[in-house]
Structure 1
Amino acid sequence: MKISSKLTLALAALLPALTSVVASDVYDLSQDTFKGEVIGEDLALVEFFAPWCGHCKNLAPHYEEAATELQKKGIKLAKVDCTEHADLCQEYGVNGYPTLKVFRNGTPTDYTGPRKADGIISYMIKQSLPAVSDVTSDSHAEFIKSDKVVLVAYGDASHPIPSAYSEFASGARDNYLFGQYTDSSLPSIPESPSLPAIVLYKSFDEGYSVLSASEIAKLDSASLSDFVKTNSVPLLDEISPENFGTYAEQNLPIAYLFADPAESESRDKLIEELKPIAKEFKGKINFVFIDAIKFIDHGKSLNLPGDSWPAFVVQDLALQTKYPLQENNGKVTPKAVKSFLEKFVKGDIPASIKSAPIPTKQSDPVYKLVADDWENLFGNQDKDIFAEFFAPWCGHCQRLAPIWDTLAEKYASNSNIVIAQMDATENDIPPAAPFKVQGFPTLKFRPAGQSEFVDYNGDRSLDSLVEFVETHRKSTGGESASGSNGDVDEEVFDDEDAPEHDEL
Structure 2
Amino acid sequence: MRFITALFLSAAALASASNVIDLDTKNFEQYVGGDRPALVEFFAPWCGHCKNLAPTYEQLAGVFPSDKVVIAKTDADGVGRELGTRYGVQGFPTLKWFPAGSLEPVDYEGGRDLDSLASFVTKETGAKSKIKAPPPPAAVQLDASNFDDIALDSDKNVLVAFTAPWCGHCKNMKPAYEKVAKAFSSESDCVVAQMDADAADNKPIASKYDVRSFPTIKFFPKGSNEPVAYSGGRSEAQFIEFLNENCGTHRTATGLLAETAGKVLTLDKLASSFFSAQVPDRAAIVDKAKEYLASANKTTRAGADYYVKAMERILEKGETWVLKEQTRIAGLLGSPSLAPTKLDELKIKANILSSFAATKAEEAYDAAADAAEYVTENVKDAAGQAVEGVEGFVERVKEEL
TM-score tier by shorter-chain length is 0.3 to 0.5
**TM-score scaled to structure 1, two decimals?**
0.31
- RCO greater where, 1 or 2, for CA within 8 Å and sep 6 or more? 2
More strand, by proportion = 1
Structure label with greater radius of gyration? 2
Normalised by the length of structure 2, the TM-score is 0.38
Between Structure 1 and Structure 2, the one with more helix by share is 2
